[in-house]
Chains A and B, each alone.
Chain A
Amino acid sequence: MSFDVNTIFQIAGIGIIVAMIQTVLKQMGKDDWSQWVTLIGFVVVLYMVASIISDLFDKIKSVFLFK
């Protein structure tokens, strides 16, 4: 997975949109649904962050001669 600056805006966008959806769902009286939306958004963002961290660890391994 390759990353650039756009991913930062993607993460911020996902956060804001999830917050909006949660507010709307809560006003419709569907609290359980809003929980699921938050969880799914969190998992997606966590996947992005986890894959860039694994990228970083691989690079550190190759640069600092950990084998």
Chain B
Amino acid sequence: MEVMSIGILQIVGLGLVATFLVLVLKEQKPVFAFLLTVFVGVFIFLFLIDQIKEVINMLEKIAESAHLNPVYVETILKIIGIAYIAEFGMQITKDAGQGSLASKIELAGKILILVMAIPIMTAIIKTVIDLIPH
């Protein structure tokens, strides 16, 4: 893709143009308008993920130089990923008028994040228990 160097102005312009197209399309074919919205959303997300990659590379480098346990960093990254993808799916389902499905996706995201956090929470509780004098 040669559109790697797009900035905020391009994103805003894209959003505005897509909004006008959706307005025109919604009169005739609401399904196509919805698919267009999904497409533009994914497009912006794809652009954002390239930026997120930079941040995550930096985080990984810092964690490496701090000799952190890589399992924790990996867990945190996975949690961030789950949050992003759940948010994305939730917004799309809500746009399509399926509010109940959207809240189920949100619930699934929350529970999966909780499950992912189990090792970290166990470690924290163990440390706290070790600190308490018996």
Instruction: State A45–B37 Cα separation when bound (angstroms).
Output: 12
Interface size, chain B (Cβ < 8 Å): 34
**A56 near B36 (CB under 8 angstroms)?**
no
Which residue in A3, A5, A12, A60 is a CB contact (below 8 Å) of B36?
A: A12
A7 at the interface (CB under 8 A from B): yes
Q: How far is the CB of A60 from chain B (nearest CB, A)?
A: 6
**A12 near B21 (CB under 8 angstroms)?**
yes
Instruction: State A13–B79 Cα separation when bound (angstroms).
Output: 39
Contacts from B to A (Cβ < 8 Å): 1-3, 14, 17-18, 21, 24-25, 28-29, 31-33, 35-36, 38-40, 42-43, 45-46, 49, 52-53, 56, 74, 77-78, 80-81, 84-85
Nearest 8 A/B pairs, CB to CB:
A64-B81, A15-B32, A19-B28, A12-B21, A15-B25, A11-B36, A52-B42, A15-B29
